[in-house]
Chain A
Amino acid sequence: RKEVEQDPGPFNVPEGATVAFNCTYSNSASQSFFWYRQDCRKEPKLLMSVYSSGNEDGRFTAQLNRASQYISLLIRDSKLSDSATYLCVVGGGSYIPTFGRGTSLIVHP
């Protein structure tokens, strides 16, 4: 199974800060990319898909860098409620979609 790697963190930031996470993947044939959010003791929930052209949803921006084989998630104006673990998923091609182990974000007052 191909690897997907994330910095586990935690990233500890004040409210209002901008924070970015990267997720690297090893299979150059990967075709689909997603970011999920997982709150403590809850199931993962889809945050956003990552398109080749990049995409933005409010304070969240996701980008794909195929040449360097990583995806990124940028969160602007962090809120306390953004505190969670952020999981990247890489799929497509001929293998099962693979989840990274997640990056923990803690937003403090």
Chain B
Amino acid sequence: AQTVTQSQPEMSVQEAETVTLSCTYDTSESDYYLFWYKQPPSRQMILVIRQEAYKQQNATENRFSVNFQKAAKSFSLKISDSQLGDAAMYFCAYNAGGSEKLVFGKGTKLTVNP
């Protein structure tokens, strides 16, 4: 079974600084997709970024970028120029190709200090 591990229950960063959230996963599939979702205090799940396993290039969305290391099964999220609004729970998620199910990690709570 596929598993997603987020080893950092909590992280903090100073406003305007950069922070990296870790995620590793276990799978025997070659075709899959990886996601980072953000859940602010409102509890609304928001897609931050998405990576297709077959793409070598790391995905980037404005201040958010990933470091996808397929061989190491690692998928970290880097947030640059952190803003107060980035404070939230961040969930790493995995979706095997051809499967509709999304498997979530346990989450990392990010605090942004002013």
A binds B: no
Chain A contact residues, CB within 8 Å of chain B: none
